[in-house]
Structure 1
């Protein structure tokens, strides 16, 4: 299966860019509008392998979109921004055991306390993690994804928030950006985790794992 990586550089002067940037649900629908309707009556995002991440770089804000079907960029509103798409096949095919890589993922690091613990401490069903607890969560996820971390830097991000259109239910996913270097320990497992995403909130900008070759110096 081919995976596609799309990079969108939004024009911050565009009205729709502001609407999407302020609401994770709006951005989810914007992303889904780049693909045909009726692909799957249940869980179309998962069927299309759609994952995305927003991030800020020295060149400005951008949206990175991963999917198993090439998106129709003509569906973006006129003037929304510049966009380009490329296949991830060469990168995925080049993975091998022991290969040093750089990684990046904006993830919803959480724990789910048991019923007794929730009742005792009046906790919600899902508790967001931060600091060393979030780092521990990502270390475990990385190991379970075929990566052995060598460096780890984490940065808290703004929470992804919005309201679902069907029932006005509030969407809220805490996000932490994890990035650093690692070695591949299981290429096949890593390909699967890149394809499927990691953790909760995948429909709203969480869980997309990106890697790139890391050239070490001696």
Structure 2
């Protein structure tokens, strides 16, 4: 497994076109893996996420089974001159060694963009249900908390020093970004509507193997459209 980071040149028209349409973004990501067929159910999972840290700092993270080739993204939406200077224009690191080092009890910062949904009945007394997005931070956090145990992690509360300052010790995760997306799906006259939420927080590893599955296979729905990828970073 490999983890890749690419920074968009948001001043370029090509970057704005790709970033405005999750379907185009999905196609660009899948085009980075020549041996992975996007329409095959047998193909390994490729996860991706956009981190919009600032207007001029939009980062793409990709987790996949092979080293990707993002030359097309550099040419359309990056800095092509970087290639002439000997820099590929993106950074790829082997992910498996990091995953193997995850131990029970270790603690990490995490970021996750997800599509928190639940199912509601379409009519009273009818068995038919409809998938519906959670729209309030309270329910969006509950959705994440319900995935702790099967996901092999526990979301941490306030630290000892923070509790001394009067902050609560309840599970802490910040919802830093929420977006409502509505876009056309290639090959279909219908449209895709979904809500994405980005969480930041701290977690403790409770079951390393389960967490490895989350980090490589994703969590929740809408993985083809930039949801499901959780990444970890050291505390501090």
Which TM-score band applies after superposition, normalised by the shorter structure? Answer: 0.7 to 0.9
The match for 1:145 is 151
Aligned with 1:109 (options 110, 116, 141): 116
Matched, 1:15 2:21: no
> Is 22-31 or 7-16 further displaced after alignment?
7-16
Instruction: Provide Cα deviations, 1:101-133, integer angstroms capped at 9, x if missing partner.
Output: 1111010001012xxx32029997111112111
Matched, 1:50 2:50: no
Instruction: Provide Cα deviations, 1:147-176, integer angstroms capped at 9, x if missing partner.
Output: 111121113422233211111321222011
Aligned with 1:97 (options 104, 111, 114): 104
Quote the offset at 1:79 in angstroms.
5.2
Aligned with 1:179 (options 189, 200, 204): 200
> Is 133-142 or 34-43 further displaced after alignment?
34-43
The match for 1:154 is 175
CA RMSD of aligned residues (A): 2.2
Matched, 1:119 2:123: yes
- Aligned pairs, how many? 208
> Structure 1: where are the runs of 5+ without partners?
none
Over 3 Å counting, the alpha-carbon distance change for 1:105 and 1:40 in structure 2 is: closer
* 8 Å Cα contact 2:15-2:76 kept in structure 1: no
Q: TM-score, normalised by structure 1?
A: 0.87
Over 3 Å counting, the alpha-carbon distance change for 1:88 and 1:199 in structure 2 is: same
> Structure 2: where are the runs of 5+ without partners?
79-88, 157-171
Q: TM-score, normalised by structure 2?
A: 0.80
> Is 199-208 or 124-133 further displaced after alignment?
124-133
* 8 Å Cα contact 2:215-2:229 kept in structure 1: yes
> Is 3-12 or 117-126 further displaced after alignment?
117-126
Aligned with 1:67 (options 57, 64, 69): 64
* 8 Å Cα contact 1:107-1:207 kept in structure 2: yes
2: distance between equivalents of 1:155 and 1:148?
19
Question: Could you say which structure has the larger radius of gyration?
Answer: 2
